[in-house]
Structure 1
Amino acid sequence: MNTTTNLSKNTPVGTWTITEAKTIDRSPYSGTVQIHKMGELYSMSWLTTLGDYPGIAFFENGNLYASCSSNEAYGISLYQINSDGTLDGKWAAANSTGIVDTEKAVGGTPNQVAGTYNVQGTMGKHDRYKGVLQVTPLGEIYQISWLVGTEYKGVGLQVNDRLIVAWGQGNVFGLCYQMQGDRANGNWGVRDHSTVGTETLYRIC
């Protein structure tokens, strides 16, 4: 019995090799990716010819939505895009140890992701925040910024009715993989660059 294949339908956990990948300027790279369960999230670790990066991810309906950075101060947000101009989101910081908070964005344009939203969200069991979310298209990605007392910046990728956002300091990468058994096909983006990179993974254990 192939245990890895049976598990692959329900979880991305495992060790994956990067079988084919290109950066945003179409340069090839290779490496491995480790994925582990961490509370409501998944922790990820890329060891590549371009460098080593830690990451965190959500896994929903066969899609792995991830954020990674060479800087420790980063996080991930995942929004359900609604037709009425609102976004239902959940988010986590890299140091959250798997704890997930929520965010609601309202005031956008119906049937359009780009725009300015008013947001309210949770931060732990007792803290709340509110502010403004700006979503600006740039080629194949979205430039994202929040003003919630402090300004946060990120990069967004739209995947059907989901918006995955990686945010933080320095270069932060947003990724989405479509999982198909022991194979995963992914796209990734970085803020201020209009094109996306590609990454194909194969699970080896």
Structure 2
Amino acid sequence: MQGCDGSVLLNSTANNTAERDAFPNQSLKGFQVIDAVKSAVEKKCPGRVSCADILALVARDAVPLVKGPRWQVPLGRRDGNVSMASEALANLPPPSFNVTQLIASFAAKGLSVKDLVVLSGGHTIGVSHCFSFSNRLYNFTGRNNADPSMDPKYVAALKKRCRPSDTTTIVQMDPGSSRLSTLITTHL
């Protein structure tokens, strides 16, 4: 199986790097929460609820916490038993893509511009590694400048946390504000 099969939860092995360890997924966290939920569910109804369904339900329940909509989640997904970093690399657009590239990437997967907005909006909460956006802070046009579309105060704040070539620091995205998330979900 591929897609919505919980394969991002699988661990890497000596012979295979799993999705969760692929470059685009380096900021994923909370695996222990899903493990705890799965353990509790297994005690009540063993072998009946997949990790894939648990992920879908957790996402559904988390979105309203940031003033997003709630929706029905059809259940019955099966868990995958294969997880490859190469799949994440081939299917997740890099953070350097512009809007035109993102639209084309989503369209190639049968997804709409609305899907792009919804999924991008989901990335305005949580955290990100500095390396995923540092080019926008330090060398956006090749002239050692920041992306002019970014708020200069936000650029200055990020530069205090993120040095060029920083591969380990993690920062809050849209810290202290749900403004963008609220705007996105209100207009969908």
Same fold (TM over 0.5): no
Larger radius of gyration between Structure 1 and Structure 2: 2
How does the TM-score come out when normalised to structure 2? Answer: 0.26
How does the TM-score come out when normalised to structure 1? Answer: 0.25
Higher strand share goes to which structure? 1
Higher helix share goes to which structure? 2
